[in-house]
């Protein structure tokens, strides 16, 4: 397991690039952490490192946001916090996203754990004394 410490927001671009390298060929990345741990902020930094120029925000109410990288590739950002049943993920057609070969960054993956693809990369974020620990 690899651990990275984030002491402040200035470090995020470097951490984002390290994470992208660590993704390798994996496209579905699950981000776990308590509310306020920094999942959305980290995903925003990763998207920016991939060249996304659009506004990057939490898809809390829409469940999924779509962005374009600088190379024109799609990136999907999910937030499953507000779903109540797994059938809601089925209804939105999660398979089309997860098996599209596009990056899929998933917040609150535990809400749909039975639907996550085999081999998904899990990124755990925890906070202690204002320092974020990112483990994968």
Which tens digit of pLDDT belongs to each residue from 64-101? 999 999 999 999 999 999 999 999 999 999 999 999 99
Domains along the chain? 3-135 (3.40.50.300)
**pLDDT > 90? residue 14:** yes
5 pLDDT tier (thresholds 50, 70, 90): very high
pLDDT in tens, 32-65: 999 999 999 999 999 999 999 999 998 888 899 9
In whole angstroms, give the CA distance from residue 52 to residue 71.
Answer: 9
Residue with token string 């925003």 = 44
Cβ contact 49:17 at 8 Å: yes
Chain centre to alpha carbon of residue 125 = 11
Coil vs helix vs strand at 112: helix
pTM: 0.93
In whole angstroms, give the CA distance from residue 41 to residue 56.
Answer: 9
């Amino acid at each position: 397991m690899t651990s990275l410490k984030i002491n402040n927001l200035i470090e995020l671009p470097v951490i984002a690039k390290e994470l992208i390298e660590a993704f390798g060929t994996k496209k579905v990345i699950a981000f776990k952490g308590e509310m306020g741990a920094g999942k959305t902020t980290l995903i925003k930094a990763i998207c920016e490192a991939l060249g996304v120029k659009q506004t990057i925000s939490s898809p809390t109410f829409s469940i999924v946001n779509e962005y374009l990288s600088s190379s024109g590739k799609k990136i999907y950002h999910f937030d499953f916090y507000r779903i109540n049943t797994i059938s809601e993920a089925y209804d939105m057609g999660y398979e089309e996203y997860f098996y599209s070969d596009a990056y899929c960054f998933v917040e609150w993956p535990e809400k749909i754990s039975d639907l996550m693809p085999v081999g998904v990369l899990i990124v755990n974020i925890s906070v202690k004394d204002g320092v974020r620990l990112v483990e994968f």
